[in-house]
């Protein structure tokens, strides 16, 4: 049951993120065999990256020179972001695995993990905004970070609706 719930949470995050996007990008469902939780996490990450890049491209007007400089930097940013997202997904998995027997310490650990994740993500954005500014004019770099932040907030808001509150 726990693996099923974890898989459903991952799928819900994927669906929630996709619904927060423009309808141009749909998640891939081409696998014939039933996916494992790890497969779902990998697919979720790939969909998130693809969707983010697609939305960035549609909402940033970049010259060919700017695009040639920005996209490698953005890809590096996404790689670092993935580490934080993977940690968050693992924390959600731990919460799901222990939900039925959740004690006070574990509940506090969940909130602590959320706070740490938010702090890491903010620090990452500050670092990479400076990197974006090296290859884009400041307003365009800020716009790129705003778009990324909004996508993250939308995905978190919709995805959190599928995670039960502590009882």
Q: How many CB atoms lie within 10 A of CB 72?
A: 11
Region 140-148: what's the mean pLDDT?
Answer: 95
Q: What six digits make up the tokens of 147?
A: 């778009």
SS (H, E, C) 25-68: CCCCCCCCCCCCHHHHHHHHHHHHHHHHHHHHHHHCCCCHHHHH
The candidate with the shortest Cα–Cα distance to 159, out of 90, 112, 92, 111, is 92
Which range has highest mean pLDDT (45-59, 66-80, 82-96, 99-113)?
A: 66-80
pTM: 0.71
Task: Quote the percentage of the chain above a pLDDT of 70.
Answer: 73
Question: Which pLDDT value is given to residue 31?
Answer: 46
Q: What six digits make up the tokens of 69?
A: 């400089």
Furthest CA-CA distance within the chain: 55
Region 113-118: what's the mean pLDDT?
Answer: 91
The candidate with the shortest Cα–Cα distance to 46, out of 75, 8, 6, 7, is 75
pLDDT at residue 99 is higher than 50 = yes
pLDDT at residue 150 is higher than 80 = yes
pLDDT at residue 164 is higher than 90 = no
pLDDT at residue 48 is higher than 90 = no
């Amino acid at each position: 049951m726990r693996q099923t719930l974890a898989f459903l949470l991952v799928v819900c995050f994927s669906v929630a993120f996709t619904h927060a996007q423009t309808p141009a990008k749909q998640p891939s469902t081409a696998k014939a065999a039933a996916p494992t939780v790890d497969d779902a996490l990998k697919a979720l990450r790939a969909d998130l990256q693809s969707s983010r890049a697609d939305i960035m491209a549609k909402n940033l007007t970049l010259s060919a020179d700017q695009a040639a400089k920005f996209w490698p930097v953005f890809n590096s940013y996404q790689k670092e972001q993935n580490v934080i997202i993977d940690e968050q997904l693992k924390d959600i998995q731990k919460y799901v695995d222990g939900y039925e027997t959740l004690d006070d310490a574990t509940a506090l650990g969940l909130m602590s993990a959320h706070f740490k994740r938010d702090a890491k993500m903010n620090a990452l954005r500050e670092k990479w905004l400076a990197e974006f500014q090296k290859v884009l004019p400041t307003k365009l770099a800020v716009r790129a970070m705003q778009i990324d932040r909004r996508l993250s907030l939308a995905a978190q808001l919709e995805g959190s609706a599928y995670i039960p509150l502590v009882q």
